[in-house]
């Protein structure tokens, strides 16, 4: 496993592309993974992203977007209702924008690390059955 393989797979996931071939669509809906890649036939449904993408999205949005907002002077001057009316939709839009990209990156990472549902890390596919 090389870092270029890991980052390449994560980049393909961020671009909503199959981590295996980089051609087929990774998602069939907003967050629904296309079980089988339409181009290469790779089983992308085997990667259990679970709550990882939501966790990393909260981490990114919280640290890069919400925390710097507390340094903005309007936060203290504006009425709380105005701040909430502006920032809650803005934070939601940023989170909804990032979530499928982060999920694609997590699936790309799992593809690169060969982390497959029902298999312990390092366990080969032939050892499953």
Residues in contact with Zn ion by the rule CB under 5 A: 18, 20-21, 24, 37, 39-40, 42
- Residue 30 is classified by DSSP as S
Among candidate residues 30, 18, 40, the one with its CA nearest the CA of residue 110: 18
Beta bridge partners of 25: 17
Rounded to the nearest whole angstrom, what is the least distance from the CB of residue 109 to Zn ion in the complex? 16
Nearer to Zn ion, 17 or 53 (CB): 17
Rounded to the nearest whole angstrom, what is the least distance from the CB of residue 19 to Zn ion in the complex? 8
Nearer to Zn ion, 54 or 116 (CB): 116
Sign (positive/negative) of CA torsion 111, 112, 117, 118?
positive
Rounded to the nearest whole angstrom, what is the least distance from the CB of residue 5 to Zn ion in the complex? 15
């Amino acid at each position: 496993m090389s870092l270029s393989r890991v980052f390449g797979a994560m980049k393909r996931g961020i671009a909503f592309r199959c981590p295996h071939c980089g051609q087929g669509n990774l998602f069939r809906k907003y967050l629904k993974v296309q079980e089988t890649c339409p181009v290469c036939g790779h089983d992308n449904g085997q990667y259990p992203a679970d709550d990882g993408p939501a966790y990393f999205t909260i981490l990114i949005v919280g640290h890069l977007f919400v925390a710097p907002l507390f340094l903005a002077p309007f936060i203290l001057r504006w009425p709380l209702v105005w701040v909430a009316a502006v920032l809650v939709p803005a934070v939601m839009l940023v989170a909804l924008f990032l979530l499928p990209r982060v999920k694609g990156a997590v699936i790309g990472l799992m593809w690169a690390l060969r982390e497959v549902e029902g298999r312990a890390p390092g366990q080969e596919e032939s050892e499953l059955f």
